[in-house]
């Protein structure tokens, strides 16, 4: 928890200009659409920070819950506010990230929305020593992408990882591309090699 708070403060000051920029378009969007913004100020700020980080890594304002798939048409749909927002709000009351919700949502409904999101990212990770196997995660029905994906599993692992090098097994070439971009953005040393069954082994020196 302490590490998360330190990261929050650090990232807020790093991205404060971008956070203000995102705040403007988000508020304009909800005025036009009639939606509401998540009233949890910390979660709302975190989502704006994550949007800024996605822009920094990939050059576009991709949804902070999903890394690019490598399919241009699908990835275009995942630029926030994504093309799935209306369907998800109709089904769940809020979008996947719990950034936008239907009008008149109660505090209880917003909390349930956030809990649903956090539950997806608190799955047991397949970490053995310094090897993280990211394969086999549930798949989002709208985007056909794993939850959590390799980069979110990386983020979760690093909260408590004590080693200097983390090895990650990923299923697709696109995941290696995404991790390479993240490594460059974060200043990690990166290498990749083939692994069993067409998968890849990515090695990141994180210390």
Q: Assign 1 a pLDDT band (cuts: 50, 70, 90).
A: low
- pLDDT value at position 26? 98
Residue among 62, 37, 43 at smallest CA distance from 4: 43
What's the rounded Cα separation, in Å, for the pair 8 and 179? 21
Q: How do residues 132-175 score in pLDDT, each as one tens digit? A: 999 999 999 999 999 999 999 999 999 889 999 999 999 999 99
Q: Which domains, and CATH codes, for the chain? A: 2-121 (3.90.460.10), 126-205 (3.30.110.40)
Residue 4: is its pLDDT beyond 80? no
The residues, ordered by sequence, that sit 6+ positions from 20 with a Cβ below 8 Å of its Cβ are none
Q: Look up the pTM and report it.
A: 0.91
What's the rounded Cα separation, in Å, for the pair 193 and 60? 28
The residues, ordered by sequence, that sit 6+ positions from 148 with a Cβ below 8 Å of its Cβ are 120, 121, 123, 137, 156
- pLDDT value at position 3? 66
Residue 100: is its pLDDT beyond 70? yes
Quick one: DSSP state of residue 78? T
Query: Residue 103 corresponds to which tokens in the numbers above?
Result: 């009008």
From residue 117, how far is each of 40, 64, 113, 175, 207 by CA, in Å? 14, 12, 6, 22, 29
Q: How do residues 17-44 score in pLDDT, each as one tens digit? A: 999 999 999 999 999 999 999 999 999 9
Residue 190: is its pLDDT beyond 70? yes
- pLDDT value at position 113? 93
Q: How do residues 104-119 score in pLDDT, each as one tens digit? A: 999 999 999 999 988 8
Q: How do residues 60-99 score in pLDDT, each as one tens digit? A: 999 999 999 999 999 999 999 999 999 999 999 999 999 9
- pLDDT value at position 123? 87
- pLDDT value at position 165? 97
Q: Assign 12 a pLDDT band (cuts: 50, 70, 90).
A: confident
């Amino acid at each position: 928890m302490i590490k998360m708070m330190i990261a929050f403060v650090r990232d807020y000051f790093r991205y404060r200009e971008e956070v203000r920029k995102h705040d403007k378009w988000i508020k304009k969007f909800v005025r036009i659409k009639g939606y509401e913004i998540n009233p949890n100020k910390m979660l709302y700020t975190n989502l704006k920070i994550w949007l800024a980080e996605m822009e920094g890594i990939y050059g576009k304002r991709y949804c902070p819950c999903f890394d690019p798939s490598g399919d241009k048409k699908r990835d275009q749909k995942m630029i926030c506010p994504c093309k799935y927002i209306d369907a998800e709000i109709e089904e769940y009351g809020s979008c996947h990230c719990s950034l936008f919700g239907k009008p008149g949502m109660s505090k209880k409904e917003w909390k349930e929305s956030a809990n649903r999101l956090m539950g997806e990212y608190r799955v047991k990770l397949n970490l053995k020593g310094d090897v993280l196997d990211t394969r086999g995660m549930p798949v989002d029905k709208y985007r056909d992408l794993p939850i959590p994906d390799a980069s979110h599993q990386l983020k979760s692992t690093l909260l408590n990882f004590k080693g200097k090098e983390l090895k990650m097994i990923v299923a697709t070439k696109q995941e290696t591309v995404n991790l390479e971009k993240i490594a460059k953005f974060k200043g990690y040393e990166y290498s990749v090699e083939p692994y069993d069954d067409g998968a890849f082994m990515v090695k990141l020196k994180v210390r």
